[in-house]
Structure 1
Amino acid sequence: MGDLAWDVAAVNQRRAALQPLIGPTPSMSAVLVSQRPELIIPMVRQLAALHYDKLEIVVASHGAPLPDGLQTAAGERPVVARELDSALVFGDALNQAFAMASGDLVSKVDDDDYYGYHHLWDLAATHTYSGATLVGKTTTVVYLEALDTTVRRVFGARETFTHRIAGGTMTLSAQDLRAVGGWPAVPRGVDTALLRSVREASGTVYQPHDIGYLYVRGHDHQAHTWTADVGHFLRNVREQWIGLLQHAAFGTDVNSDGAPSR
């Protein structure tokens, strides 16, 4: 049994033990802000399939028309959508999108990453038992498009207070987001800026395990708000796989037609 298989089994056991202790989870809004309308429908479809009872999907198309078929992609999930002016800096676009959310918890979603079936439940549970202001997972499992390789890196500790989490997993209460002033009005580095705001407000940040979130690093690192080059993600590699890792725990298992699940 490899490290990943062992860790997935351990996390499944942990979830089963936590569920009766956590009880009902609060309502949550998963918020997607995207400048790439072709990625919106696949992500909405992916979010709609996740395990979470009271989930609202919020979509903001930043400087591009909203695609057709949003409600069909969302199925029975409520979806709120809006087109945002391209002149808005990214932080302001996030603020307008998050203002549309009605969930007690709000979770930032990136348009090209992958999320496992239990991902949102993990974050809600973590927010409950940690008591942290802001929770999220880490970018340890990464698909490097330029190399067509998935790596799992070793850094930091699991189930601990920390100073950095992945932007595409950041989750906190809507009340706490308002209390720290919302997303800072910056064009890049919004995730780092929010972490700074939380620390300045004497808040805390916590990360659980790394199962259920797969970060996708595209060919063009300049297209990301986090501009580290591909070499950054090859440090301290623990495991690696050719191509996109196909695993149910990360929402990348393959359908009968050979395509990833989204």
Structure 2
Amino acid sequence: MSDTPCGFVRTPEAGTARLRWAGSGWVVDGRTPVVPELRVLRALEVEWPEREAPLDGLMRLAGAGIPLTAERAEPWVPAALAELLTDRDWLEHAPGGLRSVADLRREEHSVRLRRLAHPVRPPKVSIVMSTRRPALVASALAQMERQRDVEAEVLLSLHGVPFERVREAVESCTLPVRWVEAEQSVPFGEVLNRAAALAEGDHLAKWDDDDWYGPRHLADLFMALSYAEADVVGTTAEFFYLEPLRTTIRRTTFATGATYPSEVYADHVAGGTIMVPRKKFHDIGGFPALPRAVDREFLKAAHEAGTRIYRTHGLGYVLRRGLGGEHTWQLPLAHFLKVAVNQWHGFRPSLLMEAG
């Protein structure tokens, strides 16, 4: 998996090394690059040869998530790559402290390089969302409309909500939308399955009505599904907006202190980000017909069936948290402050959210 970001290290332990063309290949300190050894570096500085050189080896490093940078780019370097390599603003941030964004900006740069190195065809995705909160439907649909590099349709489960309460939002949406209505007494998992049964896309993607998603959320999930050769993919639950405190936190560890990495095979991903091929979804048995913990039990069933689950970066996803009783994942706000590696006042997502 050396040509993929699997094993990406969020916080580097070493500085910058130099990547240069040696006549027959790209080398670091005179040696052929070994990706696991490079993961501890903050960056690789590209030194261009006098003559045009093949970029395959350089792009493999980009695809592996190694942050590459260059003071300039030669005219023969493709424009998109040149623009990324010479964008060095991310290097200006100092590490350390709750408000430091040095590691975050480095990872954002890495993700942009991965996107360039792992081009994929736009997938056909059926977005499955259940809601009991009609006031949130318009904003959720607007975020779905922002999704780039995918062909999306929306499958909306109205859980105890009559269609008339969301008609305006649905009819204003530029994406194809189909919906089902279910009584509030129907278990949450069954409500999701009824919507999923309408899917025409090749992949299903679960969506939560009260969270925020970046415009490349679905495309990044599909990219990870492809390069990891996984059956189920999702992101880390990494960014949280604590609404009562008007505070954004980022967590990269569990409360126990154990690391919570991205770009790994795992048995857990953020429930609101699950993507799975439609056939595999049915092979797993669909969502369990339970009132709560549907995501957890779906992933448990997938794991027990030998399904390959991959957790990719969570920079394009922000979970909203209010008071403990408002969410299935019932934890006090103090818990999120305890596990925060970063903390900022206000809504401060990753730049990949393109929140303006």
Normalised to the residue count of structure 1, the TM-score between the two structures is: 0.90
1:5 partner letter: R
The 1:5/1:167 distance shift into structure 2, 3 A limit, reads same
SS across alignment from 2:236: coil
Structure 2 unpaired stretches of 5+:
1-92, 94-100, 254-259
Distance 2:243 2:250 in 1: 14
Partner of 1:39: 136
Q: Which amino acid aligns with 1:191?
A: D
| 2:185 counterpart of 1:91 | no
Once the 2 structures are TM-superposed, how far is the Cα of residue 246 of structure 1 from its aligned partner? 5.3
Give the counterpart letter for 1:97 in structure 2.
A
1:222 equivalent in alignment to 2:319 = no
Question: Percent same amino acid among aligned pairs?
Answer: 34
Root-mean-square deviation (Å): 1.5
- Which of 270, 284, 287 is equivalent to 1:183? 287
Which structure exhibits the higher relative contact order, with contacts defined as CA atoms closer than 8 Å and separated by 6 or more residues? 1
Work out the CA distance in 2 between the residues paired with 1:163 and 1:237. 22
- Kindly state the Cα deviation for residue 252 of structure 1 after the two structures are TM-superposed: 3.0
Please tell me whether the aligned partners of residues 104 and 350 of structure 2 are also in contact (alpha carbons under 8 angstroms). no
2:347 — aligned with what?
Answer: 244
Alignment of 1:36-185 (within 5 A): 36-66=133-163, 67-75=166-174, 77-155=175-253, 156-185=260-289
Quote the offset at 1:247 in angstroms: 5.2
The alpha carbon displacement at 1:118 in A equals: 0.7
Larger Rg: 2
Letter in 1 for 2:177: V
TM-score (norm 2): 0.67
> 2:206 aligns to what SS in structure 1?
strand
CA distance in 2, matches of 1:154, 1:71: 36
Letter in 1 for 2:305: A
Superposed structure 1 runs of 4+ greater than 4 Å apart: none
How far apart in 2 are the matches of 1:73 and 1:115? 20
Distance of 2:355 and 2:324 partners within structure 1: 22
Check whether the contact 1:45–1:73 (CA below 8 A) recurs between aligned residues: no
CA spacing shift, 1:181–1:246, aligned 2, 3 Å? closer
Shift of 1:58: 1.4
Q: Structure 1 CA distance, aligned partners of 2:349 and 2:340?
A: 18
Shift of 1:174: 1.1
Q: Which residue is equivalent to 1:10? A: 110
Runs of 5+ unmatched residues, structure 1: 254-262
Please show how residues 17-32 of structure 1 align to structure 2 within 5 Å.
17-19=117-119, 23-32=120-129
**Secondary structure, counterpart of 1:168 in structure 2:** helix
Give the paired residue count. Answer: 248
Equivalent residue letter for 2:155: V
Q: Distance in 2 between matches of 1:232 and 1:85?
A: 34
Could you tell me whether the CA contact under 8 Å between 2:242 and 2:321 is conserved in 1? yes
Counterpart of 2:239 in structure 1: which amino acid? V
Deviation string 1:49-89 (CA, Å, 9 cap, x unpaired) is 111331111111110123122344422x2111222221101
